[in-house]
Amino acid sequence: MRTRYYERDAFPPAVAELRRAYRVFVPVRRGDFHAFAEWDDSVRPDFDYRKTRVPPKGLVFPQSERLLVFSTDERDPEHDILREAPKDFPPQAVVGIRPYDAMAFRVLEVNFDTPEVRDPWWLRRREATTLIGLARADEDATMFRTENYAGPFDERGLDVIVYDLGRGYLAKALGEKGEAALAAMGGDEPAADALREVEERIARAATPELPAGRLRAQPAAPELPTGRLRAQPVVPLFEAEFWDEVAAPCLNCGVCTFLCPTCWCFDIQDEVRKQEGDRIRNWDSCMFPLYTLHASGHNPRGKKTQRVRNRFMHKLKYYLDKYDRGVMCVGCGRCVEACPVNIDIREVAARMNGFGEQVERHDR
First to last CA, the chain: 50
| Extended beta strands in 102-236, E state | 129-135, 160-164, 168-173
Nearest approach, Cβ of residue 116 and other proteins (Å): 27
Binding track over 161-200 against other proteins, x by CB under 8 A: ----------------------------------------
Among 10, 293, 305, 325, binds other proteins (CB under 8 A): 293
* Residues between 115 and 134 that touch other proteins (CB under 8 A): none
Nearer to other proteins by C-beta: 166 or 211?
211
Among 232, 285, 310, 353, binds other proteins (CB under 8 A): 285
Q: Is there binding between residue 355 and other proteins (CB under 8 A)?
A: no
Q: 232: phi > 0 → left, psi -120 to 50 → alpha, else beta; which?
A: beta
Nearest approach, Cβ of residue 360 and other proteins (Å): 12
What's the CA gap between 155 and 178, in Å, rounded? 12
Q: Is there binding between residue 343 and other proteins (CB under 8 A)?
A: yes
What's the CA gap between 166 and 132, in Å, rounded? 18
The three-state secondary structure class of 355 is: coil
Enumerate residues 6+ apart whose C-beta is below 8 A from 235. none
Nearer to other proteins by C-beta: 263 or 320?
263
In what side-by-side order are the strands of the sheet with 83-84?
83-84, 64-71, 276-283, 266-273
* Residues between 55 and 114 that touch other proteins (CB under 8 A): 63-64
Write the single-letter amino acid at 187.
Answer: G
* Residues between 223 and 252 that touch other proteins (CB under 8 A): 248-249, 251-252
Q: How many CB atoms lie within 10 A of CB 41?
A: 5
Q: Is there binding between residue 364 and other proteins (CB under 8 A)?
A: yes
Residue 342: which of 218, 156, 173, 208 has the closest Cα?
218
99-112 and 120-127 helices, crossing angle to 10°: 150
| Phi, then psi, of 220 in degrees rounded to 5 | -60, 130
Among 23, 195, 218, 305, binds other proteins (CB under 8 A): 218
Q: Which helix (H) or strand (E) element contains residue 71? A: strand 64-71
* Residues between 295 and 314 that touch other proteins (CB under 8 A): none
Nearest approach, Cβ of residue 211 and other proteins (Å): 6
Answer for the pair 226, 327: CB distance below 8 angstroms, yes or no.
yes
Number of residues that bind other proteins (CB under 8 A): 52
Among 104, 107, 205, 280, binds other proteins (CB under 8 A): 280
Residue 314 DSSP code? I
3-state secondary structure 242-284: HHHHHHCCCCCCCHHHHCCCCCCCEEEEEEEECCEEEEEEEEC
Nearer to other proteins by C-beta: 54 or 110?
54
Among 9, 40, 166, 217, binds other proteins (CB under 8 A): 217
Q: Is there binding between residue 272 and other proteins (CB under 8 A)?
A: no
Nearer to other proteins by C-beta: 21 or 85?
85
Nearer to other proteins by C-beta: 8 or 118?
8
Q: Is there binding between residue 221 and other proteins (CB under 8 A)?
A: no
Nearest approach, Cβ of residue 10 and other proteins (Å): 24
Residues that bind other proteins (CB under 8 A): 30-33, 35, 50, 53-54, 63-64, 140-142, 211, 213-218, 248-249, 251-255, 257-259, 267, 269, 271, 280, 282, 285, 288-290, 293, 336-338, 340-344, 346-347, 363-364
